[in-house]
Amino acid sequence: MQTAAAADGNQLWFLRPSDVTERDIDLLLLEEFHSSADFRSHFIKLLEGLVAPGVHYLSGEHSVANSSGQSDLEIAFLDSDGKKCRMLIENKIAASFQPEQAQRYRKRGELHIRTGICDRFVTVLVARAVYRDYTSWV
């Protein structure tokens, strides 16, 4: 983090991109899901065909763990038919993928269905363009 003096004498703080962590992005996304209908609509539009528009947001959780691992974020919503749905979101900033990480996300979603947490799920990778060719998330 860098500082500088503003014209009025107050100190300004600047974050370099290298100062931003995956957890920072997780919490920013979670806050936006909680507080902004516009953000939720835009995010869902980006998932065209995977999540139907017009869903009703229920809740969001950070760092959700079960027997098959941990999701960075899980977003719960109801679809237009009243079905409970979940987005299991993995956020990548600079870390490498862990062995079978995408498969473990799918296993978590399947476990959620078996235990009644949701009726359906979608796994989502939020990442920089350098991760774009990682096809096991598709």
User: Secondary structure of 30-47 in the HEC alphabet?
Assistant: HHHHHHCHHHHHHHHHHC
Is residue 78 in a domain? yes
Report pLDDT for 74: 97
Is residue 103 in a domain? yes
End-to-end CA distance of the chain: 36
Report pLDDT for 52: 76
Alpha-carbon distances of 41 from 14, 46, 54, 76, 109, rounded to whole Å: 30, 9, 8, 14, 22
Question: Are the C-beta atoms of 47 and 37 separated by less than 8 Å?
Answer: no
Is residue 126 in a domain? yes
Which residues are CB-neighbours of 69 under 8 A, at least 6 positions away?
101, 104, 105, 107, 108
Is residue 107 in a domain? yes
d(CA 15, CA 55): 35
CATH of the domain at 133: 3.40.1350
- Over the chain (138 residues), the average pLDDT of each successive run of 10 is 59 66 93 95 87 87 88 94 93 84 92 95 87 62
Report pLDDT for 67: 81
Report how many domains make up the chain.
1
**Residue 106 carries which DSSP code?**
H
Is residue 112 in a domain? yes
Structural domain for 68, as ranges: 21-137
In the numeric block, which tokens belong to residue 105? Answer: 């996300």
Question: Are the C-beta atoms of 122 and 88 separated by less than 8 Å?
Answer: yes
In the numeric block, which tokens belong to residue 108? Answer: 């978590």
Report pLDDT for 3: 52
In the numeric block, which tokens belong to residue 13? Answer: 């703080």
Report pLDDT for 4: 54
